Structure formats: C-alpha cells, structure tokens
Structure 1
Amino acid sequence: MSHAKLFREGVRDLPNSSYGSNLYLLSEESGDYYPYCPISENHRQSSIFLILRWCSSIIHKILNVYLSSPLLLVLLPLLLGVCIGICIASYLNDGSTNKNKAPFGSRWEKINTLLSTIWFVLSSEFKFDSEHTGQDQIFEKNEGDSSSAENSICEINDDDDDEERDEKTRKYLKSEVHSHRESGVPFDAIPKHIAVIMDGNRRYGRSKYNNVAKGHWDGSKTLVDFCKWCLAEGVQILTVYAFSTENWNRSKSEISALMNIFVKYCDELRIEAVKKGIRIQVLSTETDQIPKDVADGMKKMVDDTKNGDRLTLNICLSYGSRGEIVNACRGVIQDVQNGQITLNDVDEKIIQQKLLTGTSTDPDLIIRTSGEYRLSNFLLWQAAYSEMFFLDKQWPELNKFDLLQVIRQYANDRKRRFGK
C-alpha cells in the first residue's frame, strides 16, 4: 500500500453498477483506479491465489509490452532461433572426432560474433537517412518570430519521437472498442450529448516535456480514447472544442504544430470512423483561415463518414460561439428579406436551425478540464441548460474513470428541471 491510497468514490452506489463497492485504490505510479475489495473474516483469499494473480498480472504486462513493439516481435524469435542453432551446432561439434579448433573460437565467441552481426544488420535496416533528417518534423521554426524562447519550447527536433508517436496513435486508432458498459448507469439515463472543452494541453506539455507541441500530441491520443469510452457507454453525440477563433492569435509555431496534427491523422480518423460507425462533422465559423491541406483532409473525412450511425463526433475547428450566433442571425435576416419567412415567424426554433449544430439536441453535459471555470466562447446558445463539470486535470491526463464518474454523477446527483 506504499504506492497506492484508498479513497471513496464520492457518489452513491448504483443498483446495476459493475463495481461492488464505492471504494477504490488510486495507484500513484500509473494514475489508474482499481476497485478495492476488502477481505472479510468469512471470505479470505488464500496467499497462493494472490501470488498467482500477481504473477498473472506481471505476465500480462510483459506480453503487452512485447506485443506492442514491432522490433521485439522480430528480434526475440530471431535471437531464440540463433541461440538454439548455436547450441545444436556446438553439441554436434563436441561429439565429432574432429578435434580441430573452431574457426570462431569458443562457444561464447560464436554467440558474441553472431549477435554483433545481427545487431549491425538491424541497426542498418532501421537507420534513418541523414539526408532526410529533420524533414518530417511536426513544424518548422518560423523566421521572424519575436519569441525565440517560445519557439524552443514548441520545436521538436527528434524524428524518432515523431515516428514513435505516430505509431502509438495509429495503434490507439486501430484498437478494438470494448462493447461492455462499465458505468452501471441505465441506458436511458446516459447523457445523449456530451461536449468537451479540451483544455490544458499546453500546460501539460510544458510541465512534462518542456515542449508545448508534445502536449498537443498527447491530447490527440486522449481524444481517440475518449471517443472509444463514449461509444462503449452509448453516448450518441460528442462535441469537442479543438481550436477556437481566438486561438489564431497564438504563436505561428504552435498554430503550425496544431495544423500538422490535424493533417497527419485525418486519414487514420476517417478510416477508423468508417469501421466503427462514427460520423464526423467539422463546425467552423471562420473557415477562411484554415489551411488548404487541413480543409481538404477534413472535407474528405466528413464526406466518407456521413453514413455513420453509432456516434456523431463534432470537431469545433476555428470556431467561436458568438460568431456562430451572429451568422445564424444573418441567415434569418436573409430569409426574411427573401420572403421565405416573416418577421413574426422568427423564434428560438428558427435560430436554432441556423446554428452549426442544426437540429441536433443540445449538450446534456459539458466537461472542461484544467480546473478553469468558464465556457470560453463555446456553445453559448446550446449550453443554456447543460450540466457543467469542471475537472481539475489537464486534458491529456484524463482517464476512463473520470468519464465514468461524471456519467454517474450526472445520472444520480443532477436533477434537470429546465426551469420548471
């Protein structure tokens, strides 16, 4: 118990909950939560069972590390085969009548020579061409930027980190979605529409990596996970605040990093969204500032996923709620001038239809991370009766238990009266 602490969940137990207790263990090393099951006098687990379960957990972690590394998948069987071959050859050599000394010396010299040869071949195979080093960086350092310190924080010079991060993100995209629901909340009490202000990527990147861009990379991985969790729980609409109109005022280097993240994973998101039945929509109030490569990737992603029926993912990119309301009012005025409607016909429903969210339901709950308590120009019209949840975590730090806890509190502790 030196690396874990016991805490109470903070919400009352549910009749159909998959957790038998509202006590959990928080691991200080991994940050994960595990149900705590106290052992009573009448039901003590044997020490042998505990040891076996511990060994099983260790083996499971080792297998996960092994299976998640393509290099280990290739290298370990190859080394095992080489070692077995050397042992067989040495045994046959010892049993023969030929007493001449082996050309490579002793057995250990043979093993050392072969392993060195294999390592040289693998190193040559995976070595990056020096002529292309630096071309695949997330973004280039912009000339004329007045803040050199900020550029040094945002700049990424390690191509190996980029490739590793790309591979990990693709694995997250292609991993299977768990079909079982873990919240224990009845399906009719699950929020149908969840909106998220994904705040804290920059602070997380600075504190963990001293690099803003890496914080955004980790945030994109959390978004992929969050979509899977929502799918598993039966959420129908997920709206995320990815990039606001005010964010264009940030440094050119950070904007370039964010745009490159969007470009890199448009294809992966599109392919996996089609497989999993996710419909993707991009909500923008200022489309003229979006780079062409980003706009093209987003358009293809929207077109190819239009038939998804399991989850609608709204990505708010270059979005501002005030601008959305202004554009909606302009559309209504245009309809009045064209004689399509009269001034007396204008009501909330007419304006609602002109919003980017259209006729979809308003968010049942809005989550904001990083400990901030404001909407920041996000879904101001639609959030009239949304339940607000402010989490004291940076967005990349969010885990599945946080979402489950929010869903349980929404279903059991919040009473939505809509002014009645």
Structure 2
Amino acid sequence: MVRHVAIIMDGNGRWAARRGLPRRVGHWRGAEAARRIVRAAVELELPYLTLFAFSSENWNRPVSEVVDLMGLLRRYLGDDYSQEMQRLDVRVRMIGDRSRLPADLVRIVERLEDASADHKGLQLTVALSYGGRQEIVDSARRLAQRVAAGELDPTAIDEAAVAGSLETADLPHPDLLIRTGGEQRISNFLLWQLAYAELYFSDRLWPDFSHADLAEALSDYRQRDRRFGALSSTA
C-alpha cells in the first residue's frame, strides 16, 4: 500500500521553452498541475503527499525569476486555494526555511496552515525554500543543544532521535518518489526520509503531468517488491 508519495515537480521551464513562451508561463502552468495532482491524490485516496515547490538552491536563479515564483506562490497559496483545501478536507503544512521567504508570503502560508489544521483528509506538505542537507544540519544542531542543556545523553542519539528532530517528524517516510521531466536525481530533497523509497522517473514535463500519470506511477509501485535489505519474498 502506498501511504506517502513525494514529488519533484520538474520541467516547467522546458515546457515553456518548447512552446516559445516565457519561463514564467511554464511556472504558472506548473502551479495548475500541482493543484490538479492534489485533487488526483484525494481521488486516489492517498494519505500523504509532499511536493517540492522551491528549493534552497532556487534562490540562486535570476532575481526576476525568483520574484515571479514568489508571486506565483502568493496566488497559488491564497484564499481561493484555502477554500478548495477546505472543500477537499486537505491539511496543508510547509517545511523549509521560512526566514528567507517574504514576510507576506509567510503570513499566507501560516493562514493556510491554521485554516486547514483540523482537516482529516490528505495531508499535503509543501517544501518551500527547502534543502535536505540543511534539514539534517538543523536536526543535528537541535540534538546538540539538548545535549549541551543536559536534556539528552549523547549515547541515546540514534536513528529515531535524528528522525524525530526533522521537520517531517510526524510524517511517515515516503514510499514513492516521483520526479518528472526526465531527470534522474533527487536534488537535495528529503535525503534522510527517502533512504528506502522507491524511485519513479517520468519523462513527462510537470505541466503535463496528469491524474493518469499519477495512477500509473502508483500502479508501477504496487508491482515492486520492497525488501528493505532483506531477501525477496519470492527468493
């Protein structure tokens, strides 16, 4: 059973370039695809979905593109989206470095989180200004602070302790990672959490990714034999 799907939404810029359109148009169409896939996840009864919306490395893009992306996030995560999440009973939360985001966007995110906090359906996590390495560094720092304060014995630090100090501590680790756009790497996304995830790479550019594509990825996952280091069940 697939409980948690994580998606690297790749290919917006190439989608636009192939059509002779500005990159910002590709990003707008990508936002529409994200909304479509959230609906699909609800229809497919997925319990958890995590979308990689903006990485810590994306801050290195041209200023004009970053400004466009911030504007897109304001619109995408605003009141209209909040109302749809209420209708779908989706709980929304954000992971990532909020300190680098514009203050008004942080307020929008916080309002969306608060408004959906009691929703019992799909648990949607949006990774904004997020980097997997930094998340692990932050986890180590929190554990070190507890040790320095005498709250934690260093010998008690194990995998569970590290996982418990990550931003995703209350989420199950992803069963399946989907990356669109034909690239085959995880790009500093959920590095700890993806240790045993199944990987699915699609050549479909993100703005074209559909309900049928998500269903196909889930079908492919169900045919795999997840062994977690043990022998195959058919061996």
Provide the TM-score with structure 2 as the length reference: 0.95
Please, which of 267, 275, 285 is the counterpart of residue 87 of structure 2?
A: 275
- Counting only pairs closer than 5 Å after superposition, residues 315-330 of structure 1 correspond to structure 2 as 315-330=126-141
- Counting only pairs closer than 5 Å after superposition, residues 175-324 of structure 1 correspond to structure 2 as 189=1, 191-265=2-76, 266-284=78-96, 286-324=97-135
Aligned to 1:343: 154
Aligned to 2:203: 392
Which deviations, in whole Å up to 9, do the C-alpha atoms of 1:39-98 show, x marking residues without a partner?
xxxxxxxxxxxxxxxxxxxxxxxxxxxxxxxxxxxxxxxxxxxxxxxxxxxxxxxxxxxx
Aligned to 1:81: none
Segments of 4+ moved more than 4 angstroms: none
CA contact (8 A) 1:364 1:386 kept: yes
CA distance in 2, matches of 1:205, 1:299: 31
Q: Give SS of 1:243's match.
A: strand
* Alignment gaps of 5+ in structure 2: 231-235
What do you get for the CA RMSD once the two structures are aligned? 0.9
Letter in 2 for 1:419: G
Letter in 2 for 1:308: H
CA distance in 1, matches of 2:87, 2:40: 16
Identical-residue share of aligned pairs (%):
36
CA-CA distance at 1:210 after TM superposition: 2.2
CA contact (8 A) 1:352 1:359 kept: no
Provide the TM-score with structure 1 as the length reference: 0.54
Letter in 2 for 1:217: W
CA-CA distance at 1:409 after TM superposition: 1.2
- Counting only pairs closer than 5 Å after superposition, residues 332-411 of structure 1 correspond to structure 2 as 332-411=143-222
- Counting only pairs closer than 5 Å after superposition, residues 49-128 of structure 1 correspond to structure 2 as none
* Alignment gaps of 5+ in structure 1: 1-188
CA-CA distance at 1:406 after TM superposition: 1.0
CA distance in 2, matches of 1:261, 1:197: 17
CA-CA distance at 1:356 after TM superposition: 0.8
Letter in 2 for 1:299: E
Aligned to 1:419: 229
Q: Give SS of 1:208's match.
A: coil
> Highest CA radius of gyration, 1 or 2?
1
Which deviations, in whole Å up to 9, do the C-alpha atoms of 1:367-387 show, x marking residues without a partner?
001100100000010000000
Q: How many residues were matched structurally?
A: 229
CA contact (8 A) 2:42 2:88 kept: no
CA contact (8 A) 1:243 1:318 kept: yes
Q: Give SS of 1:377's match.
A: coil
